[in-house]
Amino acid sequence: MLNKKVEKKLVEQIEKEGYSSSLYLAMASWAECNGLEGIANWMYAQSDEERMHMLKIVKYVNERGGQAVISGFDKPPTEFKNVKSMFEQVFEHEQKVTASINDIVEVCLNEKDFTTHNWLQWFVNEQIEEEASVSAILDKLKLLGDQNLYLFDRDIMGMRGQMPSSME
């Protein structure tokens, strides 16, 4: 049976993962409308991945005797200053998600829910990879400056393909 404090934190995380999916979908739409097909495709893939994270938590909560509650999500922004600032927002968002996952881990340890703690290690590792991936993108964008996005946009999905297979 799932500990009630842990269940509460996991249900909160479901909402955060759902918002992440919506945020990246909004970013994909913005990129697509601005002729950035590669970035749009990268963001669409990120949105799908975040939705899968949400579903993974939903199924876990339900399988462990809890009840996953699906709430509404805040509306994400629809306009972004430029590609670099958008990816800076992605990085900041992923850092918040990492902090949230770490909070759940702390509750698991305090409540001696070692089963959920063990299960959460996949998310801990996932966040390490997410932050590293976006950090690498930001490094490339810093090299480019505000110009020459054509090649970056064309090659960004190849950067996604270089991610470790555990992200799939």
For the chain, the domains span 4-167
Categorize the per-residue pLDDT at 160 as very low, low, confident or very high, splitting at 50, 70 and 90. low
Is 68:18 a contact under the CB 8 Å cutoff? no
47 to each of 30, 37, 92, how far by Cα in Å? 13, 15, 16
Q: What local confidence, expressed as pLDDT, does residue 143 receive?
A: 85
50 is known to lie in a ligand binding site: yes
Q: What predicted TM-score, i.e. pTM, was given to this entire model? A: 0.89
Residue 97 confidence (pLDDT) above 80:
yes
**Distance between CA 58 and CA 69 in Å, rounded?**
8
Q: What local confidence, expressed as pLDDT, does residue 20 receive?
A: 97
13 is known to lie in a ligand binding site: no
Domain 4-167 classification at class level: mainly alpha
Is 59:119 a contact under the CB 8 Å cutoff? no
Helical H runs in the chain? Answer: 4-33, 37-63, 83-110, 114-144, 149-161
Categorize the per-residue pLDDT at 146 as very low, low, confident or very high, splitting at 50, 70 and 90. low
129 is known to lie in a ligand binding site: no
